[in-house]
Structure 1
């Protein structure tokens, strides 16, 4: 599931409207100001946990500690519920588009202090959004999202193998030795999203490094359809399907054509990485996602403008991909993705099927607490690629299907 606001490239991105002038600064000045950083040491590290494909870290906003999603492809967003406990001063509004292209309006406030480990960021512009319209938001969000506007002035390193997020004054404090990739990192201004050059086939473009995306690479469909990119897809690896690309701030995306594949190579600057698991997305830009963290340590050096990949000592075990996806909504679960020729399709599963139970576990929702219990089971325990017993509702009656393990 994808819960994020996507800023788009070059902050081309965000349409700003000043709701009320700040006392001594315009909204543009507030957003353009570099983060004020206070460090107790050259580097600090905090645990990072992966859940539902998202990275979670602990941080303190104005002294109140919460769990946050760490999303490099998003500005920092506080939940309305949490923001209301902080007595924030609002300075404007932001109207932008989410990951599915839907327009979303959020308030803008200035947070006095945001602490991650032993580093403090002061006077941080943050967005505030009421996630209550998203049924699973209470199951996912605590404080909100920590995003990219605090990246300038530091080196950010994500090492999923060690479960660690590090923030450093410079790269020397992190001991980076022989990186596989060291290429230019672009910063086009607020919200300071991490942008890199890439080349697939004969297409040279820019991509957003976005830990809110679970794939290794998500190619914009306009790039994916290029013949030279098609030629770079490993034979037999392409799987076509139909369904939603995920849920973002504006809600669940409409059904669209989907594709999964293995890309033989993609170039980042002058270096190439090989055999990437990829997906398509209907809106630009192309994303380099959290899937890369299964093989690489990623460092975003905003002090020198460098994007750095180091090989992990040991890559995470490869996981098979299921031919379908189930998403829990307000009162029931449904099949939101289905790939053609998959074991699920052969077993009789249909896109849009209402799912009553998986592996004998009821997915019928009776309360908010009950919904989160079922969502947590889906996130943490259910493996859609394993042999599955699924019960769906057809013509008002339940039918049970047996789906073999994914190949």
Structure 2
């Protein structure tokens, strides 16, 4: 089955051509963070467009852009998104996908055509730039969170970074999947996914194994909605808030790491890793380098007992954790914030910048309409 999957991958992505003059080339792309997503600019058939840079995903275009460019569906493929949702997607071909400096030009690039309306409209992105593009190119990709730049280099020579900072890919397929350590000697296979907005998102089956081995503890149990993937927002489900006393990424220690469980194909090491060091991915050699700014980091954090989101302009409860169970439910409406009636909110603005009234104070009084009548709760991180 693995051999067949590899053959299918080559058939689908083996036609992408990377154009250069045979010498080592180097292109540097700036990125900006929008709502926890890395946004880059590339030319699509000669026109600059915005994309989410997603090392955990596949290259994709929104249905709206495909229609605008008149791209014809050539094939299809099945993809599992960040929420574990599987779906079949049509494939189109991009004639030219070029860095803005003109140094790198991919031609005849296969890309998934996403459903309309675009799940990434809030990020003003026309699609995803995924790992398979750089794996096919045989590239080395350096991501620097201090300068907000991505440097792409052809890989005729290996990286000069010390091998002490290197973690080998844990499996084939061209994706940056590596092993990290939880506690002492307990490995977790993780996908480095710049599309994941947190430090670590724990796959539910990995959680069950690690809990039984005593390397983590449950802080709270929750029920609520998941994140946005290519298939849209995840349906409400149970999850856990979990504390790891220690997680090691290579030789770098992260203490007091709080994570939440979900249902991705792998546990995800997310974009917030870039707050703590530079990442370099050598795709052809299957190497992941992490150059930490500090060798030990304390990630102690506080969290809300309810999560909120905007739905149809209203502010509603999206996740309820243990301390609030029995008081409010998913979908309950927030009617007042500190005694003042709530307004009408924009969903995209709430994802990118949050709700202003909730950011004004550390402790906020919320009036919530429930099936049992109005209830007042304190909204604060604990």
What residue number does 2:142 align with?
Answer: 157
Question: CA separation in 2, counterparts of 1:376 and 1:64?
Answer: 25
Deviation at 1:215, TM superposition (A): 2.7
Question: CA separation in 1, counterparts of 2:361 and 2:134?
Answer: 36
Q: Would you say the 8 A contact 2:191–2:268 is kept in 1?
A: yes
> Please, which moves more after superposition, 108-117 or 346-355?
346-355
- Write the deviation string for residues 308-327 of structure 1: whole angstroms up to 9, x where unpaired: 10113798997643333222
Secondary structure at 1:238 match in 2: strand
Secondary structure at 1:149 match in 2: helix
Residue 352 of structure 1, aligned match among 321, 324, 331:
331
Q: Would you say the 8 A contact 1:58–1:116 is kept in 2?
A: yes
Secondary structure at 2:169 match in 1: strand
Deviation at 1:354, TM superposition (A): 2.4
What residue number does 1:72 align with?
Answer: 55
Deviation at 1:328, TM superposition (A): 2.3
- Write the deviation string for residues 172-193 of structure 1: whole angstroms up to 9, x where unpaired: 798x64576301125633xx32
Secondary structure at 1:213 match in 2: coil
What residue number does 1:221 align with?
Answer: 204
Q: Give the length in aligned residue pairs.
A: 372
Question: CA separation in 1, counterparts of 2:342 and 2:253?
Answer: 42
- Write the deviation string for residues 73-123 of structure 1: whole angstroms up to 9, x where unpaired: 110111111122222232111233322233323210111211234322222
Is the counterpart of residue 329 in structure 1 residue 314 in structure 2?
no
Describe how 1:94-133 pairs up with structure 2 within 5 A. Answer: 94-118=77-101, 119-132=104-117
Deviation at 1:35, TM superposition (A): 4.4
Q: Would you say the 8 A contact 1:49–1:57 is kept in 2?
A: yes
Is the counterpart of residue 184 in structure 1 residue 184 in structure 2?
no
What residue number does 1:293 align with?
Answer: 274
- Write the deviation string for residues 197-228 of structure 1: whole angstroms up to 9, x where unpaired: 33435654532111222232222222212356
Secondary structure at 1:107 match in 2: strand
Question: CA separation in 2, counterparts of 1:218 and 1:61?
Answer: 32
Gaps (5+ residues) in structure 1?
A: 1-9, 17-26
What residue number does 1:390 align with?
Answer: 366
Secondary structure at 1:226 match in 2: helix
> Please, which moves more after superposition, 121-130 or 351-360?
351-360
Q: Would you say the 8 A contact 1:215–1:277 is kept in 2?
A: no
Q: Would you say the 8 A contact 2:82–2:265 is kept in 1?
A: no
What residue number does 2:232 align with?
Answer: 251
**CA-atom RMSD, angstroms?**
3.9
Q: Would you say the 8 A contact 1:385–1:406 is kept in 2?
A: no
Secondary structure at 1:299 match in 2: strand
Question: CA separation in 1, counterparts of 2:299 and 2:148?
Answer: 15
Q: Would you say the 8 A contact 1:325–1:336 is kept in 2?
A: yes
Is the counterpart of residue 46 in structure 1 residue 29 in structure 2?
yes
Question: CA separation in 2, counterparts of 1:336 and 1:387?
Answer: 19
Secondary structure at 1:36 match in 2: strand
Is the counterpart of residue 261 in structure 1 residue 242 in structure 2?
yes
Question: CA separation in 1, counterparts of 2:63 and 2:332?
Answer: 33
What residue number does 1:274 align with?
Answer: 254
Is the counterpart of residue 169 in structure 1 residue 145 in structure 2?
no
Q: Would you say the 8 A contact 2:168–2:178 is kept in 1?
A: yes
Secondary structure at 2:11 match in 1: helix
Deviation at 1:393, TM superposition (A): 3.1
Question: CA separation in 2, counterparts of 1:65 and 1:116?
Answer: 9
Gaps (5+ residues) in structure 2?
A: none
Deviation at 1:277, TM superposition (A): 3.6
Secondary structure at 2:235 match in 1: coil
Cα gap change, 1:312 to 1:140, in 2 (>3 Å): same
Is the counterpart of residue 403 in structure 1 residue 382 in structure 2?
no
Q: Would you say the 8 A contact 1:322–1:385 is kept in 2?
A: no
Secondary structure at 1:225 match in 2: helix
Is the counterpart of residue 196 in structure 1 residue 178 in structure 2?
yes
Q: Would you say the 8 A contact 1:223–1:229 is kept in 2?
A: no
Secondary structure at 2:272 match in 1: helix
Q: Would you say the 8 A contact 1:80–1:129 is kept in 2?
A: yes
